[in-house]
Chains A and B, each alone.
Chain A
């Protein structure tokens, strides 16, 4: 019993600690509208198990019946995914073209049908791939184009690109 308790505790603690990292990943916050994560059901067109990060091409249907074709990156690199149990064999088997999945998406700040996918769930609600923050994701099932960045979102990236940090801040 004690061993079971210890194991459960270590597992839960490990998962919590693993999720605590908040370090920037490739300037992610400036590339994608990660402040406005959203969810949608989608159909896998292709899952690419590639370096430095896997990528997924998927389609979704809006409430008017129009099909949108999206492409997105997923956060972790293949070696880390494999060591977490998501080998190429397993990932590709579970994400075959035609598979229905629920995706947690951050749209590219440039707009359009590019983005980052931080979580992929199967129809049972189980996480197949989870690589980033998904809290506060908003259900946008059927909403045409999902979440598209506002002028304010785009201004955030533009402003950050133009900040002269050196003259006033250099230590």
Chain B
């Protein structure tokens, strides 16, 4: 190849690259729009996994994330991402009961579009829950105080950046969540659900699972009513029943559909949008030579130190 040819080939490559980058830049507003929930991609729609290897549909062991390309160098998974704002339960929010409505208004989230912001104004078509974020100093979000997140919030948030680790045996499946370093258990040993009042509700409830074909159907009761359904301040009562339907449609995808039935709070059962995770080999998660979850625990002492940098709300005096 002559120098001229080589230069020409390089110019062509550069032009190709510039053209493709131009297309990406042109698409940025649409991508951003999609992330805001105004257009495609749709969470849970389609399956981008190209892996055709044989696998066991009843084996959920491993590390699962909802943003596999971002930090783990895995193939992208457009159907894994919630369309936003942030991660949550989503779906068609049912009308609330008077009790549910009262508790919903008491909850002041920091996630979602900031109240009064141009984004909130532009997205007036979406439920008020997603456009009422306030500054941390005004919020009563349990997460801001390192209080337990609760089951649905752990499951729906996990994988955005912090992964979920599933450990499965013949009689129990344990989901471990990096964010808050929490876990939940799903017993598959054939037991029945407990009499909740004999011990009391738990933040992650009591869960039993059984296989229906290739779908693991998990029923949970006894959820502590201090938790929020997700970051947007949806309340939940301790009479709620959560059904989760997990499946593994391809080697590198885990899919979940949830239905929350809570007549104390909502006037009809509430189905989530589908949640999809991509599988990540543990080697891709190494930090300091250690593969696996990192302890992303919300430590109250550290959190308190961090919060000392956060500004007070208008009219609120900052403690010295």
CB proximity of B67 to chain A, nearest CB, Å: 9
In the bound complex, how far is the Cα of B310 from the Cα of A20, in angstroms?
25
With beta carbons under 8 angstroms apart, the residue of B13, B70, B127 that contacts A171 is B127
Chain A residue nearest to B125 (CB atoms) is A171
Q: Is the CB of A79 within 8 A of B161?
A: yes
CB within 8 Å for A51 and B310 given contacts A21-B35, A31-B136? no
**B314 at interface (Cβ–Cβ under 8 A)?**
yes
Stretch from B14-22, B185-193, B209-217 at the A interface? B14-22
| 8 sample A-B contacts, Cβ–Cβ < 8 Å, listed by A number | A13-B24, A24-B119, A28-B114, A77-B161, A110-B312, A114-B311, A165-B115, A171-B127
Q: Is the CB of A159 within 8 A of B116?
A: yes
Q: Is the CB of B114 within 8 A of A27?
A: yes
**B139 at interface (Cβ–Cβ under 8 A)?**
yes
In the bound complex, how far is the Cα of B21 from the Cα of A8, in angstroms?
10
With beta carbons under 8 angstroms apart, the residue of A9, A51, A87, A160 that contacts B287 is A87
**B133 at interface (Cβ–Cβ under 8 A)?**
yes
Q: Is the CB of A158 within 8 A of B314?
A: yes
Q: Is the CB of B134 within 8 A of A161?
A: yes
B24 proximity list for chain A (CB < 8 A): 12-13, 16
Q: Is the CB of B128 within 8 A of A157?
A: no
**A22 at interface (Cβ–Cβ under 8 A)?**
yes
A29 proximity list for chain B (CB < 8 A): 114, 117
CB contacts under 8 Å to A, within B146-179, are: 161-162, 178
In the bound complex, how far is the Cα of B133 from the Cα of A165, in angstroms?
11
Stretch from B261-269, B270-278, B301-309 at the A interface? B301-309
**B7 at interface (Cβ–Cβ under 8 A)?**
no
**B25 at interface (Cβ–Cβ under 8 A)?**
yes
Q: Is the CB of B71 within 8 A of A80?
A: yes
In the bound complex, how far is the Cα of B9 from the Cα of A17, in angstroms?
28
With beta carbons under 8 angstroms apart, the residue of B17, B86, B119, B313 that contacts A9 is B17
Q: Is the CB of A160 within 8 A of B134?
A: yes
**A147 at interface (Cβ–Cβ under 8 A)?**
no
In the bound complex, how far is the Cα of B303 from the Cα of A73, in angstroms?
12
CB within 8 Å for A73 and B309 given contacts A30-B134, A30-B135, A51-B302? yes
In the bound complex, how far is the Cα of B311 from the Cα of A157, in angstroms?
11
B115 proximity list for chain A (CB < 8 A): 30, 160, 163, 165
**A71 at interface (Cβ–Cβ under 8 A)?**
yes
Q: Is the CB of B178 within 8 A of A18?
A: no
CB contacts under 8 Å to A, within B103-149, are: 105, 110-117, 119, 124, 127-128, 131-139, 144
Range of interface residues on B (Cβ < 8 Å): 35 or more
With beta carbons under 8 angstroms apart, the residue of B13, B31, B71, B309 that contacts A83 is B71
CB within 8 Å for A5 and B16 given contacts A24-B133, A83-B287? yes
Known: A16-B24, A31-B310, A50-B306. 9 other contacts (CB 8 A): A9-B21, A16-B28, A20-B28, A26-B111, A30-B134, A78-B296, A154-B314, A160-B135, A169-B124
Chain A residue nearest to B81 (CB atoms) is A21
**B58 at interface (Cβ–Cβ under 8 A)?**
no
B287 proximity list for chain A (CB < 8 A): 82-83, 87
Q: Is the CB of B137 within 8 A of A51?
A: no
Chain A residue nearest to B70 (CB atoms) is A18
B128 proximity list for chain A (CB < 8 A): 165-166, 169-171
Q: Is the CB of B314 within 8 A of A157?
A: yes
CB proximity of A62 to chain B, nearest CB, Å: 21
CB proximity of B84 to chain A, nearest CB, Å: 5
CB proximity of A90 to chain B, nearest CB, Å: 10
Q: Is the CB of B25 within 8 A of A27?
A: no
Chain A residue nearest to B14 (CB atoms) is A5
